[in-house]
Structure formats: C-alpha cells, structure tokens
C-alpha cells in the first residue's frame, strides 16, 4: 500500500526513505516541492532523477481532498466543503483581510465537546482528522486560489478554529503545525499559527513546554456557573484548572500573549459584572480577549448581544486588550460557531 507524504513530518519521511534505500536528503527535496511549490506528482520534481521519481510514485502519494462545494461571502470570505477519502466532509474557511490572509482549519470531523452555541458540536463527533487531512486543507486552498507562484499573495495565518477540538487530536495537529513551519522560505512562523482549545487543561499543561504555536482559549464566561451552562466540558475542566494550565504555558512562552475568545450572548455572559469578573480572572496573565459576536444558526437557543462596545471598554480600561472581532462570512454560514458537515 502506498504511504502518504502529507502524513509524515520531515523526520518521519527521512526515516521512511532510509528504510527503502533512498538517501535522507531526498526527503527535504520532496518536502520543498510539496510545501513550497504545491506539487502533487513526483514526476514534476525536476531535481529528482526519473528512476527515483518512479520509485517514489510506486511507494508514496500526495493527497488532496475533493472540493465538494465553494461558498463565497459578500465580504470576501470563502468557505470550502471538502470531501475526504471515506466520503466524510469537513469545512475550511479562507478569510482575506487588509494585512493578512487567514485560513481557519478543522481538526476533526464534527466535535465531541458539544458547546451549546456551536453548530459543529450540535452535530456530534465522527472521527479525528489525520495529519494529511489537516495539512491538505491548507494546500488545496492554495491550489484553488492559485497562490503557488512567487510574488502571489500568501496565506499568512493559520487558526485551528474550524471543526473539532484540536487538543483531542493533538498528535496529528502538532505534526501538521510542524509541516506548516517546515520551509524556511515560505513556511509560517509560530506567531502566525494559533491553536484554539475549549480548555483541555491537562493537555495544555502537558504540552506547554514544547507547544509550537500560539494558544487561544474558548473561555466565553467569567465563572463556572455560566460556563458550565454554555460549555458542558467545564464540568470536567473548570475555569481554575484552565487558568492554572495557562500560567504554565505563560511560564514557558512569556513573550506570547494568550488569547481568550469570548462570545457575547445576550443576557447570558454580557453584563458589566461579567466584564469586571473577567478582568479579575485574567489580571495575572499576559492575556488578550477577542470579543466575538454570536452568529445564529437554526436550532440554537442563544441570541446576539449588543453590549460588545461597553464590555470591551471595561476590559481595555483595566489594561487587557479586548478587540471586537469583525464578523466574517455570516451570509455563508462560515462565521464562528457556524461550521458543520451537515448544513452545506
């Protein structure tokens, strides 16, 4: 059976090559063709001899998911419904901005965490994505947007904020992150990749010393009472355990701010009291709060709040940066909490 190039880190590919008698340095050449030039055929890798091209083609393949549907928002956001080998589907979102182009990547088919405001969680969990399925989301969007030529725009940022809880699939997610960072010329730096978690505290603590990128926490509430109501996982990993884990991350990466995502829900978590409570909670951390505005979807009990400015001002006054994030892709169900493999 052929082996997947995209499932391997560079070290794993070197080992696999050595195992079949191919010199180690060839792995770096193949990686450059794959990640710098977007090649999917070994026969296009011109610094590799014909015999070796054929040998590689017999032993390996370079995966791309099928683009099942493309939805374009009036604000420029593009949502891709991607079909995998086993016909499961995931969504990936391209978000162009003035100074950067972000791609929002999924880490699982569905999600088991079940946040009450999230369409992905509502539809349940199917399986983890493999490393190749994570990496290929980035590559297939570069194909679609024709971004492989030098001088074209870059996909400058990656956020793991699509479908799934990345830390429940941390092995494959972290392998993918290392592949995104591989190429010194076109790879992304650790500051440009953010992994967002619903707060799997023991995993944050365990991974803290070697965590290769930025960390974002989907907090959404300043106390356990409110958080457990909207995020049942809080009954397992409560706010104190998350803050303690974040302190460990900060000890190891003091120069990187931790982002706390805070989705404002009308009459649930949007009061001044909540804002002051949040200020106290985060006062000892190098933190930033992203204020998100709720995007409704059919079947959800919550409503959007109109208190974003006041809420943000309270945090900012106490020295915590709290930008209000612009809604993107609402008209195509591509905004925060709206992704699903069932609605597209």
Binding site for ligand SF4 (CB under 6 A): 111, 113-115, 118, 120-121, 163-165, 198, 218
249 alpha carbon, distance to own chain's centre: 18
Give the CA count within 13 Å in the CB-facing half-sphere of 27: 22
- Cβ proximity to ligand SF4: between 14 and 270 the closer is 270
Active site residue 115: no
- Cβ proximity to ligand SF4: between 108 and 312 the closer is 108
The residue from 91, 132, 165, 261 that is catalytic is: 91
Residue 102 CB, shortest distance to ligand SF4, in Å, is 17
Angle between helices 170-180 and 131-145 (to 10 degrees): 40
Ranked by CB distance to ligand SF4, the top (closest) residue is 121
Residue 128 CB, shortest distance to ligand SF4, in Å, is 13
Active site residue 252: no
- Cβ proximity to ligand SF4: between 118 and 159 the closer is 118
Q: Determine the Cα–Cα distance for residues 63 and 16; give it in Å rounded to an integer.
A: 17
Q: Determine the Cα–Cα distance for residues 184 and 69; give it in Å rounded to an integer.
A: 33
The two tokens of residue 13 are 């590919």
The residue from 104, 115, 118, 336 that is catalytic is: 336
Strand stretches in the chain, DSSP E = 3-4, 60-61, 66-72, 78-83, 89-96, 101-104, 108-110, 125-128, 157-160, 193-197, 214-218, 258-264, 287-293
Residue 289 CB, shortest distance to ligand SF4, in Å, is 16
Residue 236 CB, shortest distance to ligand SF4, in Å, is 13
- Cβ proximity to ligand SF4: between 312 and 338 the closer is 338
Contact yes or no for 282/289 (Cβ under 8 A): yes
| Active-site annotation, residues | 91, 336
């Amino acid at each position: 059976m052929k082996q997947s190039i995209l499932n391997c880190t560079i070290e794993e590919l070197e080992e696999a090559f050595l195992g079949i008698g191919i010199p180690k340095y060839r792995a770096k050449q193949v990686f450059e063709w794959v990640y710098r030039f977007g090649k999917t055929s070994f026969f296009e890798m011109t610094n590799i001899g014909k015999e070796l091209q054929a040998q590689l083609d017999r032993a390996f393949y370079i995966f791309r998911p099928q683009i099942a549907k493309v939805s374009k928002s009036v604000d420029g956001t593009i949502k891709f419904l991607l079909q995998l080998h086993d016909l499961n589907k995931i969504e990936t979102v391209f978000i162009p901005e003035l100074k950067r182009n972000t791609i929002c990547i999924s880490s699982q088919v569905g999600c088991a965490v079940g946040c009450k405001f999230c369409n992905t969680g509502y539809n349940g969990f199917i399986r983890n994505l493999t490393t190749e399925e994570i990496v290929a989301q980035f590559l297939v969007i570069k194909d679609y947007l024709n971004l492989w030529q030098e001088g074209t725009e870059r996909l400058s940022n990656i956020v793991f904020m699509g479908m799934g809880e990345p830390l429940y699939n941390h092995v494959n997610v972290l392998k993918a992150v290392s592949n995104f960072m591989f190429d010194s010329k076109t790879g992304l730096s650790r500051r440009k990749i953010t992994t967002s978690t619903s707060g799997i505290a023991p995993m944050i603590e365990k991974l803290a010393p070697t965590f290769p990128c930025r960390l974002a926490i989907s907090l959404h509430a300043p106390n356990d009472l409110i958080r457990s109501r909207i995020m049942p996982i809080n009954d397992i990993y409560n706010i104190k355990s998350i803050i303690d884990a974040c302190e460990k991350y900060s000890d190891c990466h003091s120069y990187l701010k931790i982002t706390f995502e805070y989705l404002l829900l009308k009459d649930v978590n949007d009061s001044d009291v909540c804002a002051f409570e949040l200020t106290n909670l985060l006062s000892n951390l190098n933190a930033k709060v992203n204020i998100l505005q709720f995007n409704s979807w059919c079947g959800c009990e919550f409503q959007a709040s109109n208190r974003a400015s006041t809420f943000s001002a309270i945090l900012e006054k106490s020295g915590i940066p709290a930008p209000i994030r612009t809604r993107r892709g609402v008209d195509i169900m591509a905004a925060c909490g709206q992704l699903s493999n069932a609605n597209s």
